[in-house]
Amino acid sequence: MPSSPLIHLDAGQVRAARRLARQAGEPVVRLATTQTTVSVERATLRLAGLRGADHEGQPWVNHLVDAVRAQVGLQDGVTTPVFDALRRRAAPDLITLAQASASDSVTFTMPEGKAAQAAQRAARAAVAVGIRTIDRQRATRERLIRRHGDPAQTPWIYLIVATGDIDEDIPQAQAAARAGADVIAVIRSTGQSLLDYVPEGATHEGFAGTYATQENFRLMRAALDETSREVGRYIRLTNYASGLCMPEIAALAGLERLDMMLNDSMYGILFRDINPIRTFVDQRFSRQIHARAGIIINTGEDNYLTTADAVEAAHTVTVSQLLNEYFAKEAGLADWQLGLGHAFEINPAIPDSFRLELAHALLARTLFPDAPLKWMPPTKHMTGDVFRGYLLDGFFNLAGTLTGQGILLVGMMTEAVVTPFLSDRDLALQNVRYVLDAAGGLREDFHPPRNGVIQTRARAVLAEAVELLERITTDQGRAGAERGRADAAYPPLLAAIADGTFGLMKRPPDRGKGLDGVVLKADGYDNPATTLLETGATR
């Protein structure tokens, strides 16, 4: 990371941007803390050790949460009635209880007094086992990094594998690591974010990606540990904690020692039409898991630029980064865990497009000096001309090293043509390696003039971001109320999302997938996972 900023921003404006982001985010956090979701409750039972699925692939954790919800509701949390049933000897263990619940052969009640206290103590003890497993996995990562070492230079080289079959993903991931990749991202099967359950076991039939499952996580992590020993550096593993099962996948990632997770505060809302409240409740819990596990999150601001113009909408990327930073830190994440996203997506036909890309990248680097920013390659303007695409990726790689990005996703010259072959990935890695070797130290000599195009553009984007945050925090709720809109009763940020402020997608807070899985907490709500995560306790 740079010891001093490469561009000069108005310090008062930077403080105003963060103050406004906090002002926009705080009401959303307050709303999120009053709700739970079916996925939060399922994640808690997974931390308590519940695994497996029935013969049709439906997880036992889904059966158990659904049964408790149908009989007594989830407003008090799932663990109190579940562990009360175990104390009453309705079943000898969680999996047997879940199996009995699937056949409607167990009755759940909400205990009171000493019975409730005893059930909650038992629940906390069980969930604490999962939390301690996450702690051990974090310690193992730190030990392996000390043993094998980190990459010799930044940005870390981030490469995607996505065959749909975990058995094919593994050799491709290992080959990529041998060729120079530092981070392997296993792309998730198309549509998994909309499944309200996590598939079980190793999978071999994904679509444009491989299903995120605990077993797939375990298999890939073990394979990359072997390759880390071979290549002499720790290879990091990435997957996706997003969608309707965001909390559960975060928990599984912590249990199986993944190192990075895609985890954006608004991506599921905007691009998967998942209910905003469901998303914010789930992302807060998932980020608490990531904080405890030492996982770096990757946010998804690059997606805004696939639907909106990268110049006109540049300030919305900055606003989203500031909001993601606020939500992440509120959940306990540190600066080094904030892989805030942005992308090289300006139309290359625009005059000075490369200078504008540098301005946007330097703005992010200066605003978030201690965050490992995730720099995304061109996709929107890849035409199928592989020679032009290879050159454009070279410019992207140069911008990444010149501006001190932390995580560089390798661009493919066959983007928009075919799913890349291993040979395509090898050529792409050669492109990155050449640029980093030839120009890795160039940033020491790069000092854009204070009043030149780059610095002027960066300051203009920041000013637009502050203006947008001011509109969100002051005008949005009032405008909704004046129009008699239903979302006027919600925090102003949710009203802004409903208006299509980000990525041109309009997502009302009272609609969207997964809304039926949101539950208002009762005064007696208890969740031992949340308690352990927020207090830092281990028992």
pTM of the model: 0.94
Active site residue 240: no
The CATH-assigned architecture of domain 154-445 is: Alpha-Beta Barrel (3.20)
Q: Are strands 518-520 and 35-37 parallel, antiparallel or unpaired?
A: antiparallel
Catalytic position from the list 211, 267, 304, 326: 267
| Adjacent-strand bridge partners of 408 | 157, 375
Q: What are phi and psi of 294, to 5 degrees?
A: 70, 30
pLDDT for position 464: 97
- 3-state helix, strand, coil split of the chain in percent (to 5) is 55, 10, 35
pLDDT for position 505: 86
Active site residue 506: no
Q: Are strands 183-186 and 236-240 parallel, antiparallel or unpaired?
A: parallel
Task: Give the list of residues 6+ apart from residue 360 with CB closer than 8 angstroms, or none.
Answer: 310, 314, 317, 342, 346, 457, 458, 461
Domain map (residue ranges) of the chain: 154-445
pLDDT for position 487: 52
Please report, as a single letter, which amino acid is at residue 399.
A
Active site residue 374: yes
Catalytic position from the list 211, 234, 326, 374: 374
pLDDT tens, per residue, the chain with 539 residues: 444 567 999 999 999 999 999 999 999 999 999 999 999 999 999 999 999 999 999 999 999 999 999 999 999 999 999 999 999 999 999 999 999 999 999 999 999 999 999 999 999 999 999 999 999 999 999 999 999 999 988 899 999 998 999 999 999 999 999 999 999 999 999 999 999 999 999 999 999 899 999 999 999 999 999 999 999 999 999 999 999 999 999 999 999 999 999 999 899 999 999 999 999 999 999 999 999 999 999 999 988 888 889 999 999 999 999 999 999 999 999 999 999 999 999 999 999 999 999 999 999 999 999 999 999 999 999 999 999 999 999 999 999 999 999 999 999 998 877 778 878 989 999 999 999 999 999 988 999 999 999 999 999 999 999 999 999 998 654 444 444 455 557 899 999 999 988 877 899 999 999 999 999 999 999 999 999 999 999 99
Q: What are phi and psi of 470, to 5 degrees?
A: -65, -40
Straight-line distance from the first to the last Cα atom of the chain, in angstroms, rounded to the nearest whole number:
37
CA angle 308, 314, 320 (to 5 degrees): 90
8 Å CB contact between 278 and 246: no
Catalytic position from the list 76, 259, 302, 424: 302
| Adjacent-strand bridge partners of 53 | 59
pLDDT for position 2: 45
pLDDT for position 456: 97
8 Å CB contact between 478 and 237: no
**Local structure of residue 416 (DSSP, 8 states):** T
